[in-house]
Structure 1
Amino acid sequence: MDFDDVIPNLPIYKAAMNDDWDSVEHIFDNDPQKLDAKVTSWWETPLQIAVGTNSSHRFVTKLVDRIMETDVQKLRTKSWWGNTALHYAAKIGNTRAARLLVSKDPGIAQITNTDGHTALKLAARYGQQDTLWYLLEVTKDEVGEDGTSPYTGVSGADLISLTLIAGLCDVALYLVKKHPNLVTQKDGNGQTALQVLATKPDVFPSGSQLGPLQHLIYSCITVNLEEASDYYPSSFRLFVSKLILLVAPCAKDIYSMKQKHFHTQKLVKRMCSIVMDKSSHSIAWDVLGTAVSTAVKHGIHELIKVCVQTYPDIVWYNDGGFYLFIAAIRYRQEKVFNLVYRMTGHKVFAATENPDEDNPLHIAGRLSPLHRLKTVTGPALQLQRELQWFKEVEKHVEPSYKEALNKDQKTPRMVFTEAHKDLLEEGETWMKEMSSSSTVVGALVVTMAFAAAFTAPGGNTITGSPLFLNDGIFLLFIVSDAIALFSSTTSVLMFLAILTSRYAEEDFFYALPKRMMIALVSLFLSLAATMTAFSATLALVLRDRISWIAAPVILMASVPVTLFAMLQFPLLVELVYSTYGQNIFHKENNVLLH
């Protein structure tokens, strides 16, 4: 191609971009060859440019009609990468153009580009759900130019993999129902559809981060009558769901999320069922095993649970020397590890040594992967979480493992100490810096509260008793000041206890978090009480002159207290939950797995 031809064709390019058919209609009247002229250096035609805008709909309609009057094959003109206009429609989700093109030339849906991709596969790759559903209707299960069908072999496996990567589990479920052989096929990356699904935690409930209110809405919404509770009629659950969606528009996103989770659950069960229908251990071992080993890394316990329930032996799938529960320890996936509590007496076999001579306790002693370490706030709580893992694994190993030496001649405790040396130092620094700063604030409150106790607002009588002694507001002042003094003193003492701690590893498990919790709660109470005492003092002194002073003073006094709560409350909640809340290791239900 002579690239200089691109410049004379610029008017056509701009008209296609701006949906301006009238300005170039005369060009096509005079020279029909321009209908599929290459208007860019990538050999793109006016039709491809117009379709790619997803807005020049009139231009597309007029141009297609004109092409049909001359040569229908011009609809199939390809760009540099071998893409037709339908490929462009699939990539950008222009379903309107796709319907028009296929209605004029049904065979265009079977054409592949230079990479062997049909428009159907491109719609899946770019996550264009509406266009994908339409192309699934019109793309036939026939051998194409490259000698394969879009729904078989690597091409078919690529299609379902791309669909799953885009998170379109409802589409994937449709493909599995219509083409069950896709479940055991491997895509261009050598992965099965189930293995690809095991890399998508966001399509499972465990991968969705929901707040308390969102979680409540999620639990109340029903996306299928099969989900109805045993305690409430289906009609009632359905009524509640519709009511929530009506009064809370934001719940629509949560509804869509739960709907996706429902499709994913059905998809996993259908895939596992198809695998078992093959009645082949090698196929089951390959498809389910690779999926389970991948799901462990991403913490998708829902997929693992279904795979193990389908084929219990899969818990012994060996991935580089790591069985299921050993891998859960390695990647610090507590929800996967919790499945061990749903095993029978066979759980004693779950904690076995790996070829590197590291027993499970050695593995628990090594530093957690960074992305899992960051799931809790601050190095102190991170070290606490690591200790929780170590102590929990210690309960499940043979007694001899606790002092066993690995190939480096180190016991599990030695491995833990060495691996967490830097984290221990960071935790110590974090605790000391926070305690030092807070001690200054606590000491200031102690000083003010102590001085205020002997400086009564309004002064004293001749006998020395406070002037407002019999006033109810004065009583509020005295009580608030006393609370401020006692609580601030407590916070200072607790922060000093943290500063003078020996900072051993075990201190981070319970002692230091407990002291930090008491110190933060005491400091908050002292600030709140100080602001209350200050407000009471102003109300006493100024109420005779400025009667309306109470309301604005209380409002302003609440600002610093509210700020402190907003900034420190999340840390306090995490401290309480991590130390006294439900253990991250627990049995979810009584359904046995193995």
Structure 2
Amino acid sequence: MSYDHVIRDLPIYKAAINDDWDSVSELFEQDPDLMTKQITYWHETPLHIAVSTGRSHRFVENLVKRIVATGGKEKLFVNNCNTSNPLHYASTVGNATAARLLVELVPEMTQVENWEGSRPLHVASFHENKETLRYLLTVTRDEEGKVSHYSGVAGGDLITRTIMNGFYAPSIKKIHDIKVNNHLSNLLVDRICKTVIEQVDHNIAWKILGSAMRTAAKYGIHELIEKCILTYPGIIWLRIAGGFYLFIAAIEQRQERVYNLIYQMSSSKVWTTVEQGEKNENALHIAAKLAPPQRRNVVTGAALQMQRELQWFQEVENLVQPSYKEALNVNGETPRMVFTESHKELLAEGREWMKDTASSCTVVAALIVTMAFAAAFTVPGGNQDNGNPLFLNYHVFMLFIVSDAVALFSSATSVLMFLGILTSRYAEADFLYALPKRLTIGLLSLFMSLAATMIAFSSALALVLKDKVTWIAAPLIIATSIPVCLFGLLQFPLLVELVKSTYGKSIFHQQNSQRIH
């Protein structure tokens, strides 16, 4: 087949992409068939090309009006080689202007399917073109005798992508205007679960609910899992990736909310934790492996990630039978051996993170120790002939002495804590409690010493200046709070996370009172 016409029709192609209607208007008037001629290798018409640019709006408008005036609306349906009409193209590129123009003239164009069985509505959702999709949702209607655009695989994809894009189908929009998104999602899940159960077909229920639960287990959507289990309790025995049950999958994916939910809702943990997989691995072997990539950044720093991994291993270790703690997999490895081998790199990263943090903070703390110690013997205003400080009877002087002492003691404590970190053996177990505790105390002490140092400086400044140049004293005293605030902004989130992770509520706890058996 010859494609020489593609070269001959280049002027039309260029006019379409450049929104140059004037250069081809006379040409189309002389030969109207050129307006709907397939002029590219992919059998695209000038309308396909102009619509796909997303900017040739004048060309599209004039071309569509001319086609309708000279040949009839049916000529707007001319497809490319993949049976996609111009509205499919508008849906693909997000050309809402062209979509409105075409639908207003030919409403039935919204019902035309391409070779994949997708209507323009489905195409717009696939390419996440919100404006075009929002418009098509309002004009696409189910026709009598035809399959609904919410049916089948394409319909399922449409619902999924519509939700992912952050807005809903018109029939649910009224509820959305009243309820929050979370409540609306619950309603949608309730409806889907009810519809699935109404089919009274185990295979359908197992396939649809099971597929949803596999995804929910991976991403930690415990609300969806809870709804599915309450709808069909037997689904608790669904096998996820690797041949394990849902409870073990929660351990593998490090999804503590899913783990907590199943732990409290079902006694299946009693059965699933004694199960052994294809590699003769039990639940503790699974917990001993490194967390999946998407769950390695849920806490700050490699050291806290190592702590989280140890918390998981300890939790499952307390759950399994004693004999399983020394059970061997096909490689002859116990769970503890698997943990050590799979966490080598994370342990090294945690060690370096701890050392770098401790080293940096030690320098700052040591400087504060030096300054606070020297300040105690070089008090503001000097000493009298009898050796007493000149400002001894001033209340501000007592504030200076107390804050300087606090700065010295807290900074010295901080140095000792950071030195304890630097000289640690960095064993696996140290990352569970010992090292985080030292880092917490060290950061708290450093913060206190910095704040006390700024208070000491402010009080000394107030003593020296007293009633002189008060206009500059106040701004300087206020400025001393800047370093404290900066330290809080930069380091306080880490400190809070350390305290929460080490001393706070465990990630393993009861979430609700629902039980199924």
Taking structure 2 as the reference length, what is the TM-score of the superposition? 0.89
Tell me whether 1:336 sits opposite 2:246 in the alignment: no
Cα distance in 1 for partners of 2:48, 2:411 equals 72
Deviations 1:451-501 (A, max 9, x none): 110111111122221112222322222121111111111111111222232
- Quick check: 2:310–2:432 contact (8 Å CA) kept in 1? yes
Query: RMSD of aligned C-alpha atoms?
Result: 2.9
Task: Find the counterpart in structure 2 of residue 276 from structure 1.
Answer: 197
Amino acid at match of 2:473: A
Pairing of 1:72-111 with structure 2 (within 5 A): 72=72, 73-111=74-112
**SS at structure 1 position matched to 2:319:** coil
Moved more, 503-512 or 56-65: 56-65
Task: Find the counterpart in structure 2 of residue 427 from structure 1.
Answer: 350
- Quick check: 2:13–2:49 contact (8 Å CA) kept in 1? no
Instruction: Quote the offset at 1:65 in angstroms.
Output: 2.3
Task: Find the counterpart in structure 2 of residue 4 from structure 1.
Answer: 7
Task: Find the counterpart in structure 2 of residue 497 from structure 1.
Answer: 420
Amino acid at match of 1:456: V
Instruction: Quote the offset at 1:325 in angstroms.
Output: 0.5
- Quick check: 1:172–1:267 contact (8 Å CA) kept in 2? no
Amino acid at match of 1:303: L
Cα distance in 2 for partners of 1:3, 1:565 equals 67
Amino acid at match of 1:63: L
- Quick check: 1:141–1:151 contact (8 Å CA) kept in 2? no
Amino acid at match of 1:29: E
**SS at structure 2 position matched to 1:406:** coil
**SS at structure 2 position matched to 1:170:** coil
Instruction: Quote the offset at 1:70 in angstroms.
Output: 1.2
- Quick check: 1:432–1:499 contact (8 Å CA) kept in 2? yes
Task: Find the counterpart in structure 2 of residue 406 from structure 1.
Answer: 329
Of all paired residues, the percent bearing the same amino acid is 54
Cα distance in 2 for partners of 1:341, 1:14 equals 61
Instruction: Quote the offset at 1:21 in angstroms.
Output: 5.1
Pairing of 1:292-311 with structure 2 (within 5 A): 292-311=213-232
Match of 2:373 among 450, 453, 459: 450
Instruction: Quote the offset at 1:341 in angstroms.
Output: 3.4
**SS at structure 1 position matched to 2:480:** helix
Taking structure 1 as the reference length, what is the TM-score of the superposition? 0.78
**Pair 1:513–1:58, CA change in 2 (3 A):** same
Q: How many correspondences in the alignment? A: 509
Task: Find the counterpart in structure 2 of residue 178 from structure 1.
Answer: none
Task: Find the counterpart in structure 2 of residue 321 from structure 1.
Answer: 243
**SS at structure 2 position matched to 1:588:** coil
Tell me whether 1:481 sits opposite 2:404 in the alignment: yes
Deviations 1:278-317 (A, max 9, x none): 1122222222223212321121111111111111111111
- Quick check: 1:51–1:94 contact (8 Å CA) kept in 2? yes
**Pair 1:169–1:406, CA change in 2 (3 A):** farther
Task: Find the counterpart in structure 1 of residue 288 from structure 2.
Answer: 365
Cα distance in 2 for partners of 1:313, 1:465 equals 83
Cα distance in 2 for partners of 1:54, 1:379 equals 47
Cα distance in 1 for partners of 2:166, 2:352 equals 46
Amino acid at match of 1:112: E
Instruction: Quote the offset at 1:54 in angstroms.
Output: 4.8
Pairing of 1:159-198 with structure 2 (within 5 A): 159-160=158-159, 162-163=161-162, 166-167=164-165, 170-171=168-169
Task: Find the counterpart in structure 2 of residue 120 from structure 1.
Answer: 121
Deviations 1:519-559 (A, max 9, x none): 10111111121122223223322345422222222233223
**SS at structure 2 position matched to 1:9:** helix
Cα distance in 2 for partners of 1:324, 1:162 equals 26
Pairing of 1:537-548 with structure 2 (within 5 A): 537-548=460-471
Amino acid at match of 1:315: I
Instruction: Quote the offset at 1:378 in angstroms.
Output: 1.4
Amino acid at match of 1:496: L
Cα distance in 1 for partners of 2:356, 2:141 equals 64
Amino acid at match of 1:500: T
Cα distance in 1 for partners of 2:290, 2:16 equals 58
Cα distance in 2 for partners of 1:466, 1:551 equals 24
Cα distance in 2 for partners of 1:368, 1:344 equals 24
Cα distance in 2 for partners of 1:172, 1:406 equals 54
Pairing of 1:26-175 with structure 2 (within 5 A): 26-37=26-37, 42-54=42-54, 56-72=56-72, 73-132=74-133, 134-135=135-136, 137-138=139-140, 140-141=142-143, 152-160=151-159, 162-163=161-162, 166-167=164-165, 170-171=168-169
| Runs of at least 5 residues in structure 2 that lack an aligned partner in the other structure | none
Cα distance in 2 for partners of 1:154, 1:374 equals 34
